[in-house]
Amino acid sequence: MEKINYSVLVHKQITGEISAEESAMLNQWLVEDPQHSVMAEHIRGIWILSHTKGCGWEPDVEGGLVKLKQRISEDQKSNNTTRRPVIFSLLKYAAAAMIVFSLGYFASGLGSSDLEWQVAETATDEIKTFALEDNSQVTINGGTYFSFPKTFGSENRVVKMDGEGFFEIARDEARPFSIEMDHGTVRVLGTSFNIANDPAANTTTISVASGKVAFIPKGSKQEFTLEVNDKLIYNANTQQYRQVKDLSPNDWSWKTKELVFQNTKLEEVIPAIEKHFDIRLDLANTKLADCRNLTATFTDASKMDVLNALTLTVGVDIKKAKEADSFVLFGGNCE
């Protein structure tokens, strides 16, 4: 079951690559919650400025306001023949006004910099690996946008990401490395870790493979320190977090192409398989989640290979559900 990455849809809308069906989904998402419009315009602001080169750029606020008023006038005329939901119109104009005024703020961070920014992006089923100027290695998962300077400055190394990526950062104590996202900032010196942003759930998950990282939620003075085998799940809606130990390498199985289970309970096996193959598994007998364990290693295996292995090792049967890429696990008992 393919998850909808609304951040990707915003980027597609910016570049004019969005389809009619995707546009309808994006519009529906925008009217569900005013915060969605705020997030969308934040993404647009960063995208625009990441494509702006040179240090003399200034936002044309007055010109932007004139264009905004023209758009409102044109929409009011068109509404004489086509009725649109009032809440959508209000959100759209508020979002447009926000981008006009917020560009001045973002200009101080990107537009006024001497750095030449570049953008790497991936399609839904695409993975890219590349080296940054400091020899740090970055691998980004499908549906990810990653902005980075061609050459880092002398005091710090700052990049921006929307999506999921695995980072292997070259140590440089004189220039800390930061990854800026919608929900906050991750700061490191030299380490390896995975970051996953889920726009639908409005969460950020950070999994540390080596070294130490710090996460600072956006608009907060609180700082979370994570070490090897730590995982932090931060919910931007509730501003709550959950931190766990004994990290599984399956958190970045999308990169390694390997799923590893060592006497792992079914309640942990199922979400790992779901994320790896982007499918949904429903366990009919919920008691099995705690009483059935799996020990196996799957390297570059297909989803059917893994599901068939479950029927043999865990003692369940599997059938296809009505929804696309959804399966039901049934049968079995706790002995």
pLDDT digits (tens, 9 = 90+) for 99-133: 444 444 343 344 435 678 898 989 888 999 999 99
**Contact (CB, 8 A) for 69 and 93:** no
What is the structure's pLDDT at 169? 94
Q: Which two tokens stand for residue 156?
A: 């710090």
CB 161 within 8 A of CB 187: no
Position 91 scores a pLDDT of 43
Query: Residue 81: its pLDDT value, please?
Result: 45
pLDDT of residue 176: 92
Residue 167, phi-psi category: left (phi > 0), alpha (psi -120 to 50), beta (remainder): beta
pLDDT of res. 270: 92
Q: How far is CA 158 from CA 51, 164, 248, 268, 306, in A?
A: 16, 17, 28, 34, 39
Distance (Å, whole) CA 145 – CA 10 = 11
Counting as low any pLDDT under 70, the low residues of the chain are: 1-4, 41-114, 247, 335
Q: What angle do CA 308, 310, 313 make, to 5 degrees?
A: 115
List the domains of the chain with CATH numbers.
6-111 (no CATH), 117-249 (2.60.120.1440), 257-330 (3.55.50.30)
CA distances (Å), 246 to each of 169, 271, 291, in order?
22, 16, 19
